[in-house]
Amino acid sequence: MRIGNGYAQIKNDDDDNIVIGGIDLLSGETTNVVCLRDAAAMAVADSILGAAALGDMNTMHAGEKDSFHLLREVEKKIHYAGWKISNIDLTIIMEKDRVIGLKKEIAKNLAENLFINIEQVSIKVVDQAKSEPAYGVCYSSALLESRE
């Protein structure tokens, strides 16, 4: 078994939406965005790559792919390296009222795109005081086990 950690900042400049786990927090709808804008996807992908000792997001050319495509590529990469995901533990630190009702949808999006069961994805939300522009952090831990 191996464990890895990932970290990504959530930031909203005036003309950008906030995207967490494929969910546009302003509209509440699932969206495919460039993965560098999806802090949950970035943190989860980094934790998985770190656990497998396969580099980080900088080695994946992340800026060219949407967040869901990126997660599927990361899963394929660890699969061929002989690993499978045991669980993902994601902590989102931001204004709780923005994201608390979307935890299940975020977990579903992450699980579907990593080819795992939703029960293997845990999401916690820690409240942060309101700030402008909206800002927060995603931390992820991934536990991998051998495919053998």
Domain count, the chain: 1
**pLDDT value of position 39:** 87
**pLDDT value of position 21:** 83
pTM of the model: 0.88
Kindly report, residue by residue over 86-98, the tens digit of the pLDDT.
999 999 998 778 7
Residue 57 DSSP class: G
Residue 34 DSSP class: B
CATH number for the domain including 99?
3.30.1330.50
Looking at the chain, which runs of residues are DSSP E strands? 2-11, 19-20, 23-24, 29-30, 83-94, 121-127, 135-146
Strands 83-94 and 29-30, sheet pairing? unpaired
**CB contact at 8 A, 71 and 46:** no
- 91 beta partners: 124, 139
Question: Containing domain of residue 26, as a range?
Answer: 2-146
In single-letter form, the type of residue at position 109 comes to: N
Kindly report, residue by residue over 7-60, the tens digit of the pLDDT.
988 766 555 677 788 787 776 666 666 566 788 998 999 999 999 999 888 777
Q: Quick one: which H or E segment has residue 111?
A: helix 103-114
Q: In whole angstroms, give the CA distance from residue 115 to residue 102.
A: 20
Length of the chain: 148
φ, ψ for residue 43, nearest 5 deg: -65, -45
**Is the pLDDT at 129 greater than 80, yes or no?**
no
